[in-house]
Structure 1
Amino acid sequence: MPTMETENSNASSAEKLKVLANEAFKVHKFSQAIDLYTQAIELNGDNAVYWANRAFAHTKLEEYGSAIHDASKAIEIDPRYSKGYYRRGAAYLSMGKFKDALKDFQQVKKLCPSDPDATKKLKECEKAVMKLKFEEAISVPHSEKRSVADSIDYRSIDVESQYSGAKIEGDAITIDFVKQMIDDFKKQKTLHKRYAFQIVLQTREMLRALPSLVDINVPDGKHFTVCGDVHGQFFDLVNIFELNGLPSEDNPYLFNGDFVDRGSFSVEVILTLFAFMCMNPSAIYLSRGNHESKSMNKIYGFEGEVRSKLNETFVELFAEVFCCLPLAHVINNKIFIVHGGLFSVDGVKLSEIKAIDRFCEPPEEGLMCELLWSDPQPQLGRGPSKRGVGLSFGGDVTKRFLQDNNLDLVVRSHEVKDEGYEIDHDGKLITVFSAPNYCDQMGNKGAFIRFEAPELKPNIATFTAVPHPDVKPMAYANNFLQMFS
């Protein structure tokens, strides 16, 4: 049994660790902060502050499942500790669980009736829940929904004589048009709606024709580049093309999901990627990420940005096209590429992935959900997801999946990494992330992987962020989320 002296010593050491953790947090070293809060908790697990602080650090790393767990523990230790409810409410909001968040902010208000910040956040949360109820009340059943794409005739839209931006002549999208469009975007000019509609509608037709798992063939002597999350960081996307060449038949790319949200140039990113696909579908392949979904776009900025730069019809159109994106790719029957990760059950075959009916919003469980949301873990087996959706899977799960499908490597994205990439599971799994200095605050590098056939050895290139116009990340995000960022 620990003596009073030992307990005092532990409490004192834990406080010192908390101070170090707070300092790491202030300079955006959130993983380091989590490690230090964890050490403090191991010495003194009855301090609600350590749990709530660690919850906040998890939120910063988008590990909302872990944040909810830690905040709940803080509440259990001290039911009158308002920060516990506050942190949990913020994590629920970030997951789009507005009703759960509302309960927590009501509790914060009850505990701190005169706190203006608590009042403000409660009001925003109430508005979000009311909006959600209204949308549910007026929504049309999925079976009765008509495609918004079918109602758009872009050819009937006139281009005003004073429009001086990039133009598409006829039906063909050319490299000259794409270069001109990118140049215009760099100068923060907008593309005419007629051409934006043309690009998005043509992309939709191409994507609809693809299977849920796409096989890619890279001939001997040729190469193929895989990029991870770009998250609306248009100027960093352009930098990738400057470093590695524009997409073409001889210089093909796969962008592995999460093209939009958070960064405030998501419209420019998505129109650029879609235009390259229209120019030549062998030049660029696109995989769905967890942020290519209505629920995420509502919260993290893409929907607001589309409304601001285009119009309401485009909000619906993009949502429809995102449901057409393939879920995974395989290069030369050897490399499996997916946004999130692997599955809660063993024995999943590539043919099952190919057979998924993907033309819908991502479900909250099952193969499609796990492909978009799961993450690797260092320990063997499977565990709960730190995000609160999908799961965590170990090296043994990766190894069995590769053996079952006669594959060599899993490449995935979905997580910010300090170096832009991370190699796990005895070299059998690589995470690649292509948004450097993510959200203008993480200080990470970006990376892309170049594979040369026939060996297909991963050649990883890293790069740093480039300057962009003074538009902050999350500029178009939901009001309440901006209050927390």
Structure 2
Amino acid sequence: MASNEEITGPISQEDVEAADKLKNEANEYFKKQSYNNAIELYTKAIEKNPKNAVFFANRSIANLRLENFGYALSDASKAIELDRSYTKAYYRRAAAYMSLGKYKLALKDFEYVTKVRPNDQDAKMKYTECNKIVKKIAFEKAISFDKKEVNIADSINLDAMTIEDEYVGPALEDGKVTLKFVTDLMEFYKKQNKLHKKYAYKILIDVKAYLQKQPSLVDIKVADDAKFTVCGDIHGQYYDLMNIFKLNGLPSETNPYLFNGDFVDRGSFSVECIFTLFSFKLLYPDHFFMSRGNHETLDMNRMYGFRGEVSSKYTSQMADLFTEVYNWLPLAHCINSRVLVMHGGIMCELLWSDPQPMLGRAPSKRGVGCQFGPDVTNTFLQRNGLDYVIRSHEVKNDGYEIAHDGKCITVFSAPNYCDTVGNLGAFITMNGKDLKPNFTTYEAVPHPDVKPMAYANSFFNMLCQ
């Protein structure tokens, strides 16, 4: 991807016209949600005419859609540098700042627009909405100081919660998750029913208690003749999660699984996904594993829907409890001391980093973490006596990608991500003896008519249009 090029010398009319044509072609790809193709053409347009702010702003929104927040921020800033009055570029940069949790910087952009364009009602509205978010976060931080010594889990009074006579859903047995409970729960969720809050809270409290005793790096032992499955991002796509179990069998002591982060956000059935996965974790603690992803965090949940979904289906208190639980999730797993699995990458920011084809290291396209090349992967594996690494975190057309000479594998298990991308989903199976990765791919299955991001921050969605 082109950097913010130095602008030197005049630009010919021929290049200006060629750039405009490339931009129009890129716009068509953007409309089809083919964002990588759009970015490639916007980049070519910029190479022809690096003085046009629109090209940078358009590439910025395409990068926002791909969650390349670092690139989006850089492009929006370049567009502003080229045209200080270009309102849309400020909106793009504000969206990038918000995606990175930098809400005060987003607010500054809106404030600037309202000052230079005092009659712009849209800018005033966006400034007001962003200001509300900043104040709300400040308020939440302020009251959190008073609660610092109080765990949400410890403050829950399960005895005060009664099970109403009309509730006919799955029930814990003597307060414990059983196989019957989980299988009943999955069928209950397929019909868009809601687990009783008493059982939901009990699951969260029990999961937290278990996770608190676990190390951040969990060792997994798989017998030579045993099968082991690794899944990538699920992102609230509950019906696709059910399809994984249909294709590969339910988790059990003889069919162990590792889900590698990003269980929630984006998809609007995140509550159903996480309670199903946590139930299996409690049922088979030594044969069902869960790594933390970058979406098991407060800022991402606040922006991409999970916090809104939990608050809608249950309470904001439960949303707070989820944040508390997520803080205890393991960061990585090591299979038979030979295969390391983490959500993002082997460098700093385990939950965010990505591989790159070039040698060495580079700043992350996401604006968080860094990118690492095949030489970095190879050195890391040699130093730690590992065969290869598995990570997730990125959409892949085939549901997986083998990079770095087979040493760095990406697996992504949410097909047709956000109902728009058209990618396949995939999971990896291996046996304990050779740990050779085998890939199963699958298409998305139908789901009820609830759109992705239905519970996401509406203001953020508006910014990203």
TM-score scaled by length of structure 2:
0.95
2:343 to 339, 346, 355: 339
2:76 to 71, 76, 87: 71
Alignment of 1:399-414 (within 5 A): 399-414=378-393
Alignment of 1:302-313 (within 5 A): 302-313=306-317
Q: CA offset at residue 112 of structure 1?
A: 4.5
2:239 to 216, 227, 235: 235
Residues in 1 aligned to 2:321 and 2:138: alpha-carbon distance in whole angstroms: 23
Aligned to 2:100: 95
SS at match of 2:183: helix
Give a deviation string over 1:233-263, Cα, whole Å, max 9, x none. Answer: 1111111111111111111111101111111
Give a deviation string over 1:394-416, Cα, whole Å, max 9, x none. Answer: 11111111011000111111111
Alignment of 1:48-447 (within 5 A): 48-140=53-145, 144-343=148-347, 367=348, 370-447=349-426
Query: Contact between 2:92 and 2:463, CA under 8 Å: does it hold in 1?
Result: no
Residues in 1 aligned to 2:340 and 2:113: alpha-carbon distance in whole angstroms: 46
TM-score scaled by length of structure 1:
0.91
SS at match of 2:409: strand
Residues in 2 aligned to 1:379 and 1:145: alpha-carbon distance in whole angstroms: 47
> Percent sequence identity over matched residues?
57
CA-based RMSD: 1.7
Residues in 2 aligned to 1:95 and 1:386: alpha-carbon distance in whole angstroms: 12
Could you say if the C-alpha distance between residues 59 and 3 of structure 1 is closer, same or farther in structure 2, counting changes exceeding 3 Å? closer
SS at match of 2:333: strand
SS at match of 2:164: coil
Query: Contact between 2:217 and 2:333, CA under 8 Å: does it hold in 1?
Result: yes
Residues in 1 aligned to 2:87 and 2:353: alpha-carbon distance in whole angstroms: 31
Query: Contact between 1:165 and 1:184, CA under 8 Å: does it hold in 2?
Result: yes
Query: Contact between 2:294 and 2:352, CA under 8 Å: does it hold in 1?
Result: yes
SS at match of 2:351: helix
Residues in 2 aligned to 1:133 and 1:176: alpha-carbon distance in whole angstroms: 44
Q: Does 1:13 align with 2:18?
A: yes
Residues in 1 aligned to 2:146 and 2:216: alpha-carbon distance in whole angstroms: 24
Query: Contact between 2:344 and 2:351, CA under 8 Å: does it hold in 1?
Result: yes
Q: CA offset at residue 83 of structure 1?
A: 2.1
Residues in 2 aligned to 1:441 and 1:175: alpha-carbon distance in whole angstroms: 34
1:47 to 41, 44, 52: 52
Aligned to 2:433: 454
Residues in 1 aligned to 2:325 and 2:141: alpha-carbon distance in whole angstroms: 22
Query: Contact between 1:90 and 1:101, CA under 8 Å: does it hold in 2?
Result: yes
Residues in 1 aligned to 2:190 and 2:114: alpha-carbon distance in whole angstroms: 45
Aligned to 1:349: none
Aligned to 2:29: 24
Query: Contact between 2:54 and 2:79, CA under 8 Å: does it hold in 1?
Result: yes
Q: Which region of structure 1 is more displaced relative to structure 2, 401-410 or 301-310?
A: 301-310
Equivalent pairs counted in the alignment come to 457
Residues in 1 aligned to 2:142 and 2:210: alpha-carbon distance in whole angstroms: 34
Partner amino acid for 2:282? Answer: C
1:480 to 456, 459, 465: 459
Query: Contact between 1:249 and 1:283, CA under 8 Å: does it hold in 2?
Result: yes
Residues in 2 aligned to 1:412 and 1:322: alpha-carbon distance in whole angstroms: 19
Residues in 2 aligned to 1:328 and 1:213: alpha-carbon distance in whole angstroms: 5
Could you say if the C-alpha distance between residues 257 and 141 of structure 1 is closer, same or farther in structure 2, counting changes exceeding 3 Å? farther
- Give structure 1 stretches of 5+ with no counterpart: 344-366
Q: CA offset at residue 111 of structure 1?
A: 4.7
Residues in 1 aligned to 2:262 and 2:333: alpha-carbon distance in whole angstroms: 15
Q: CA offset at residue 27 of structure 1?
A: 0.6
Give a deviation string over 1:309-332, Cα, whole Å, max 9, x none. Answer: 122331221111101100000111
